[in-house]
């Protein structure tokens, strides 16, 4: 199931949406997933999927910031869920930065 979810969310990084709109769709989906009575995908995994989709098109810092900004509105009254999204966003950015090749000095 995760592969099909990842393919669906890859559309967020497509050419139709700007980063703010894509982040808003991602944040709205995260809230909907979090509020489901039966969670098929946990919030942390779903956050990672959304961040991966956004960072496929935009720089990871911009993708993370945009998602956090949109999520702060969606999770205004759900501080525990917002903390999960925030923690996963920070970890995702750190992981992407650690994986990035170090530029050679001239």
Of 11 and 15, the one with more pLDDT? 15
Question: Which tokens belong to 62?
Answer: 């911009």
Give the integer Cα–Cα distance in Å for 95 and 73. 25
pLDDT class of 104 with cuts at 50, 70, 90: low
Please indicate, yes or no, if residue 39 is contained in any of the structural domains: yes
Give the integer Cα–Cα distance in Å for 81 and 90. 14
Maximum C-alpha span of the chain: 56
Please indicate, yes or no, if residue 26 is contained in any of the structural domains: yes
Please indicate, yes or no, if residue 52 is contained in any of the structural domains: yes
Which residues span the domain enclosing 42? 2-99
Please indicate, yes or no, if residue 88 is contained in any of the structural domains: yes
Say what the alpha-carbon torsion angle 44, 49, 51, 54 is, to the nearest 10 degrees: -160
Please indicate, yes or no, if residue 69 is contained in any of the structural domains: yes
Number of domains in the chain: 1
Instruction: Output the pLDDT for position 87.
Output: 96
Please indicate, yes or no, if residue 67 is contained in any of the structural domains: yes
Does this model's pTM top 0.95? My answer is no
Please indicate, yes or no, if residue 105 is contained in any of the structural domains: no
Residues 6+ apart with CB under 8 A from 23: 54, 63, 66, 67, 69, 70
Q: Note the pLDDT tens digit of each residue in 21-65.
A: 989 999 999 999 999 888 788 999 999 999 999 998 899 999 999
Please indicate, yes or no, if residue 104 is contained in any of the structural domains: no
Give the integer Cα–Cα distance in Å for 4 and 59. 24
């Amino acid at each position: 199931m995760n592969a099909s979810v990842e393919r669906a969310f890859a559309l967020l990084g497509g050419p139709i949406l700007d980063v703010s709109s894509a982040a808003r769709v991602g944040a709205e989906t995260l809230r909907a997933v979090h509020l489901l009575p039966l969670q098929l995908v946990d919030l942390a995994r779903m956050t990672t999927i959304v961040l991966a989709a956004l960072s496929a098109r935009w720089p990871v810092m911009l993708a993370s910031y945009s998602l956090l900004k949109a999520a702060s509105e969606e999770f205004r009254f759900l501080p525990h869920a917002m903390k999960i999204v925030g923690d996963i966003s920070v970890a995702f950015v750190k992981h992407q930065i650690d994986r990035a090749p170090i530029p050679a000095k001239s």
